[in-house]
Structure 1
Amino acid sequence: MVILGALGAAYLATSLGKTSPVIAIARDVPWGQTLTAADLVESRISADPALAPIPYSERDQVIGLIAATTLTPGSLLTRDALTGQRLPAPGQQLVGVGVSAVQLPATTLRPGDDVLLVPVAGGRVPAAAEGAAPSVVEATVVQTGSPGTDGLRVVDVLVDAADGPDVAARAAAGLIAIVVVAGE
């Protein structure tokens, strides 16, 4: 009985001590950004059926894929967190909107934030928008740049393809303010 108990304990200790190398995130990777080798690190975990991390042996196949969500340091990388779809997706356009400090919230915009692009009065309305009633456009933040020497901060946003030209024309004229939409 003692020998069986010792063998059982030894087996349990060895099986619990076995770990597998998996991919973990080394630094922040915003939604929509391409994964690089510097973003990935090896982590060792015990097998758990509730977890589905990508094995470290597949690291080279992951590099170059796109983050489908914001990835945080220390988290394990799963297939659901990746996509091969580059931005902009079909039916969308990527537009840079230059805004002054009074045209966007003081709260930091993060990739994936839902925002409204609101037309503002001032100056002449761009040719693309002449004769059309200004309308609010729904958008998603891709990236926010640092303030330039002109005081403007460029915010890259995804909009529906039908809204892209009008948003670009208004943005070029400085006629857009950004409003953050409450998360769901």
Structure 2
Amino acid sequence: MTRIHPPRTGTPGRAAAPNGSSPAHALLPLPRRRGRPALLALAVAMVVLGVLGAAYLATSLGQTTPVIAVAREVPWGQQITAEDLVEARVSADPALDPIPFGDRDQVVGMVAATTLTPGSLLTREALTAQPLPPPGQQLVGIGVSTVQLPTTPLRPGDDVLLVPVIGSVGTGAATPVGTTGVVEATVVRSGSPGTDGLRVVDVLVDVADGPDVAARAAAGLVAIVVVAGE
């Protein structure tokens, strides 16, 4: 018996594609990726710029400038000496405006406009050329015993009241005479207790009050009251 074969489909000489897909699609070559020279050049340029930027930043951070720093505390109103200053090196920073160390000779002899703390950078805003006492005021030294001032240390710039008292120093019988004659003053410096047990406090008072305060201070008839800060 003669067998009848079904007609063959597809292109002669080519095997049928698996999964029933078209042979034409299965044998198509994969698309080739085109090179992108512009993108490659841009990437290289960005890498180079990044390296150059990092190098510039490292160089800038490594560059420092000598400036003036405070070596020890300088109370408000005190004259600045060479021993109060020390050299420090800092990187350039727009937020900082320290005085160059080369201007140290110009700083020596000026007056601290605020209390200068050790380790801080010195700026021109912290200095004044006006020595104490300023115009319209007088500097008076007041000797007081432990019962005539608070136990809390007085600081330069503290606002105080000078209250007249009656009695004698050292007897413990000093008594305020009321608010009459009370004088407003500003502390400039508070010394250490002497051998007589008195502590001398330098204060600034108005010119009109200076002579009376000095006379009472010489007699030990002044008590110091600290005014609350604002």
TM over 0.5: yes
Say whether 1:146 aligns with 2:210.
no
The match for 1:31 is 76
With the length of structure 2 as denominator, give the TM-score of the two structures: 0.73
The match for 1:44 is 89
Q: How far apart are residue 58 of structure 1 and its match?
A: 0.6
Q: How far apart are residue 122 of structure 1 and its match?
A: 2.6
Equivalent position to 2:164, from 113, 119, 122: 119
Q: Which has the larger radius of gyration?
A: 2
Alignment of 1:93-112 (within 5 A): 93-112=138-157
SS at match of 1:21: strand
Whole-Å separation in 1 of the counterparts to 2:71 and 2:97: 18
With the length of structure 1 as denominator, give the TM-score of the two structures: 0.91
* Divergent runs of 4+, >3 A: none
Whole-Å separation in 1 of the counterparts to 2:48 and 2:196: 79
| Paired residue total | 175
Give per-residue Cα distances to partners, 1:115-143, cap 9 Å, x unaligned.
Answer: 110111236xxxxxxxxx83211101111
Say whether 1:62 aligns with 2:94.
no
Report the AA paired with residue 45 of structure 1.
Answer: V
Report the AA paired with residue 185 of structure 2.
Answer: A
Alignment of 1:54-93 (within 5 A): 54-93=99-138
Q: How far apart are residue 170 of structure 1 and its match?
A: 0.9
Give per-residue Cα distances to partners, 1:16-35, cap 9 Å, x unaligned.
Answer: 22211110000000111111
Equivalent position to 1:163, from 209, 213, 217: 209
Q: How far apart are residue 163 of structure 1 and its match?
A: 0.3
Task: Judge which range, 70-79 or 174-183, deviates more.
Answer: 174-183
Whole-Å separation in 2 of the counterparts to 1:7 and 1:52: 29
Q: How far apart are residue 51 of structure 1 and its match?
A: 1.3
Higher RCO (Cα < 8 Å, 6 or more apart): 1
Residue identity over aligned pairs, in percent, reads 79
Structure 2 unaligned spans of 5+: 1-43, 169-178
Whole-Å separation in 1 of the counterparts to 2:94 and 2:195: 53
Report the AA paired with residue 145 of structure 1.
Answer: G
Whole-Å separation in 2 of the counterparts to 1:159 and 1:53: 33
